[in-house]
Structure 1
Amino acid sequence: MPTPYPVPRRFRFYALAGLGLLGLGTVALRPAAGAPDEVIRRLVQGVQTFYADARPEKAYLHLDHDAYAAGETVWFGAYLVDGQQHRPDSLSQVLHVELVSAQRRVVLRQALHLAGGRAPGALALPDTLAPGTYQLRAYTDWMRNAGPDFFYSRRLRVWPAADPAADGPDAKAAEHTTAAAARTEARRLGAPPDVQFFPEGGNLVEGLEGVVAFKAVDYAGRGLDVAGQVLDAQDRPVATFRSTHLGMGTFRLVPQPGQRYRAVVAQSQGGPLVVRLPAAQASGYALHVTPEPNAFRVSIRQRGAPSGQVLLLAQVRGAIGYLGQGSVVGQDEFMVRIPRAKLAAGIVHFTVFDGAGVPQAERLAFAPEAAPLRVALAPDRPAYGPREAVRVQVKVTGAAGQPVGATRLSVAVADAAGAAADAETIASNLLLTSDLAGYVEAPGYYFDDPTAETAGALDDLLLTQGWRRFAWQDVLAGQLPPRPFSAAQSLGLRGQVLTPSGKPVPNGRLVLLRSQPHRLVLPATTDDQGRFLFNGLGGCGDTARFTLQARTARGGANVVLRLDAGPPVSAGALPPLPRLPSPAEAGALRGAQAQVAADRRFRRDTAKTILLGNVSVRAKRVVVPDGRRLYNPFNATVLRLDDPAQMAVSNLTVFQVLQGRIAGVNITGAEPNVMVQIRGASSISGNSRPLFVLDGVPVDQDALTFFPARDVETIEVLKGPEAAIYGSRAAGGVVAVYTRRGSPTYRPSDELAPGIVAVNAPGYACARQFYQPRYDRPQPAAAERPDPRRRTLYWNPDVRTNAAGEAELTFYTADAAGRFQLVAQGVSAAGQPALGRGALQVAPRP
Structure 2
Amino acid sequence: MNPLVHTLLPAAVLLSVLPAASQSSNPFAEQVLRYPQEKLHVHTDKDTYVAGDTIWLRARCVDAASHRPVAASRYVYAELRDESGALVRRIKILRRDSLYAGYLPVPTDAPDGDYTFSAYTRFMRNQGADYFFRKPLRIAAYRGAAGEVPKPRPRPATGDFAVTFHPEGGYLVPGRSCRVAFKALTDAGRSTAVEAVLRDDQGTTLDTVRTRRAGMGSFRMVPEAGRTYHAVCRTPSGAEKRFDLPVPNAAACVLQLAERDGFIAVNVLTAGSLPARLRLVVHCRGNRCYDGGWEPGLLFRSSDLPAGVVQWLLLDAAGNALSERLLFNEGAEGVHVSLRAENPSPRRRERADFSVRLTDGAGNPLRGEFSVSVTDRNAVPDLVSGDIRTTLLLTSDLRGYVECPGSYFRSDDPEARAALDELMLTQGWRRYDVPALLRGEYAEPEYALEAGQQISGRIVRAGLVNTRKQLGKYRMAMIVPRYGYLAEAPVRADGCFDLDGFDFPDSTAFVLRPQATTGRMRNAFVKVDPETFPENGIPAHYPAAGAGDAEALFRTALAYVGYMGSADLRNVLIDPVEVRAKREIPRTLEERKAVYSWNAERIADTGVHTILDCIERMPGIRRRENVFLYQGRAVFFMCDGVLYDDLEESLPAFSAPPAIDRNRTVKRINMAGPGVPDTDSDLGSEPGSDTNASDTHLAQAVAAPIGQYSDLPPFVNLPLEWVDRIDILDRFSGRFLSGRDNGIIAVTLKSYEEISALDTGESIDVGIVSPLGYQTPAEFYSPAYETPESRDSHTPDFRTTLYWNPCIRTDADGRAAFGFRTSDAPADFRIDIEGLTLDGQPVVHAE
Does TM-score exceed 0.5, indicating one fold? yes
Distance verdict in 2 for CA 1:765–1:301, change over 3 Å = same
Q: Distance in 2 between matches of 1:735 and 1:799?
A: 44
Tell me the alpha carbon deviations over residues 180-211 of structure 1, each in whole angstroms, 9 at most, x when there is no partner: xx4xx53xx34232211011111223333321
Give the Å deviation of 1:560.
Answer: 5.5
Tell me the alpha carbon deviations over residues 719-754 of structure 1, each in whole angstroms, 9 at most, x when there is no partner: xxxxxx984238999995242463227544332258
Aligned to 1:544, the other structure's residue is in SS state: coil
Q: Distance in 2 between matches of 1:605 and 1:250?
A: 50
The equivalent position to 1:823 in structure 2, one of 816, 832, 845, is 832
Matched, 1:364 2:326: yes
Matching residue of 1:729: 709
Matched, 1:562 2:532: no
1:380–1:392 CA contact under 8 A, matched in 2: yes
Give the Å deviation of 1:237.
Answer: 2.7
Distance verdict in 2 for CA 1:346–1:286, change over 3 Å = same
Q: Distance in 2 between matches of 1:790 and 1:361?
A: 54
Letter in structure 2 aligned against 1:562: D
Letter in structure 2 aligned against 1:449: S
1:157–1:577 CA contact under 8 A, matched in 2: no
Matching residue of 1:772: 782
The CA RMSD measured in Å over matched residues stands at: 4.6
Letter in structure 2 aligned against 1:616: V
1:313–1:352 CA contact under 8 A, matched in 2: yes
Matching residue of 2:404: 442
2:477–2:515 CA contact under 8 A, matched in 1: no
The equivalent position to 1:373 in structure 2, one of 335, 338, 345, is 335
Distance verdict in 2 for CA 1:209–1:429, change over 3 Å = same
Aligned to 1:463, the other structure's residue is in SS state: helix
2:410–2:416 CA contact under 8 A, matched in 1: no
Distance verdict in 2 for CA 1:385–1:615, change over 3 Å = farther
The equivalent position to 1:546 in structure 2, one of 498, 501, 510, is 510
2:479–2:487 CA contact under 8 A, matched in 1: no
Matched, 1:383 2:345: yes
Aligned to 1:466, the other structure's residue is in SS state: coil
Matching residue of 2:565: 600
Distance verdict in 2 for CA 1:20–1:487, change over 3 Å = closer
Matched, 1:49 2:30: yes
Q: Distance in 2 between matches of 1:147 and 1:531?
A: 28
Q: Distance in 2 between matches of 1:388 and 1:99?
A: 35
Give the Å deviation of 1:574.
Answer: 6.2
Tell me the alpha carbon deviations over residues 522-545 of structure 1, each in whole angstroms, 9 at most, x when there is no partner: 344689999975433324x45211
The equivalent position to 2:244 in structure 1, one of 260, 272, 276, is 276
Distance verdict in 2 for CA 1:589–1:748, change over 3 Å = farther
What is the 5 A alignment of 1:475-554? 475-493=437-455, 511=476, 513-524=478-489, 534-539=499-504, 541-548=505-512
The equivalent position to 1:141 in structure 2, one of 122, 125, 138, is 122
Matched, 1:196 2:164: yes
The equivalent position to 1:416 in structure 2, one of 377, 385, 398, is 377
1:131–1:577 CA contact under 8 A, matched in 2: no
Matched, 1:226 2:197: no
Distance verdict in 2 for CA 1:534–1:757, change over 3 Å = same
The equivalent position to 1:837 in structure 2, one of 822, 836, 846, is 846
Aligned to 2:303, the other structure's residue is in SS state: helix
Matching residue of 2:581: 618
Q: Distance in 2 between matches of 1:835 and 1:530?
A: 53
What is the 5 A alignment of 1:5-154? 18-19=7-8, 45-115=26-96, 117-154=98-135
Q: Distance in 1 between matches of 2:772 and 2:672?
A: 27
Q: Distance in 1 between matches of 2:424 and 2:311?
A: 10
Gaps of 5+ in 1: 1-13, 22-40, 328-333, 643-679, 684-690, 704-724, 839-846
What is the 5 A alignment of 1:203-214? 203-214=171-182
Distance verdict in 2 for CA 1:610–1:432, change over 3 Å = closer
Tell me the alpha carbon deviations over residues 555-588 of structure 1, each in whole angstroms, 9 at most, x when there is no partner: 9968964322211122x3566998x994531343
Distance verdict in 2 for CA 1:124–1:560, change over 3 Å = closer
Q: Distance in 1 between matches of 2:297 and 2:567?
A: 69
Distance verdict in 2 for CA 1:58–1:483, change over 3 Å = same
Matching residue of 2:277: 309
Q: Distance in 1 between matches of 2:96 and 2:784?
A: 29
Distance verdict in 2 for CA 1:74–1:558, change over 3 Å = closer
Q: Distance in 1 between matches of 2:493 and 2:121?
A: 24
1:437–1:468 CA contact under 8 A, matched in 2: yes
Distance verdict in 2 for CA 1:356–1:123, change over 3 Å = same
Give the Å deviation of 1:468.
Answer: 1.3
Distance verdict in 2 for CA 1:619–1:426, change over 3 Å = closer
Letter in structure 1 aligned against 2:8: L
Which deviates more from structure 2 when the two are superposed, residues 131-140 or residues 589-598? Answer: 589-598
Matching residue of 1:470: 432
TM-score of the superposed pair, with normalisation by structure 1: 0.74
1:695–1:736 CA contact under 8 A, matched in 2: no
Distance verdict in 2 for CA 1:89–1:508, change over 3 Å = farther
Q: Distance in 2 between matches of 1:551 and 1:278?
A: 66
Q: Distance in 1 between matches of 2:569 and 2:81?
A: 28
Give the Å deviation of 1:77.
Answer: 1.8
Aligned to 1:475, the other structure's residue is in SS state: helix
Distance verdict in 2 for CA 1:549–1:366, change over 3 Å = farther
Aligned to 2:509, the other structure's residue is in SS state: strand
Q: Distance in 2 between matches of 1:208 and 1:42?
A: 40
Q: Distance in 1 between matches of 2:460 and 2:328?
A: 47
Tell me the alpha carbon deviations over residues 203-225 of structure 1, each in whole angstroms, 9 at most, x when there is no partner: 22333332111011223433322
The equivalent position to 2:139 in structure 1, one of 155, 158, 168, is 158
Percentage of pairs with the same residue: 26
Number of equivalent positions: 714
TM-score of the superposed pair, with normalisation by structure 2: 0.74
Give the Å deviation of 1:392.
Answer: 0.8
Which deviates more from structure 2 when the two are superposed, residues 57-66 or residues 737-746? Answer: 737-746
What is the 5 A alignment of 1:261-300? 261-270=229-238, 272-300=240-268
Q: Distance in 2 between matches of 1:281 and 1:499?
A: 64
Q: Distance in 1 between matches of 2:65 and 2:512?
A: 39
The equivalent position to 2:807 in structure 1, one of 798, 803, 806, is 798
1:206–1:283 CA contact under 8 A, matched in 2: no
Q: Distance in 2 between matches of 1:214 and 1:593?
A: 40
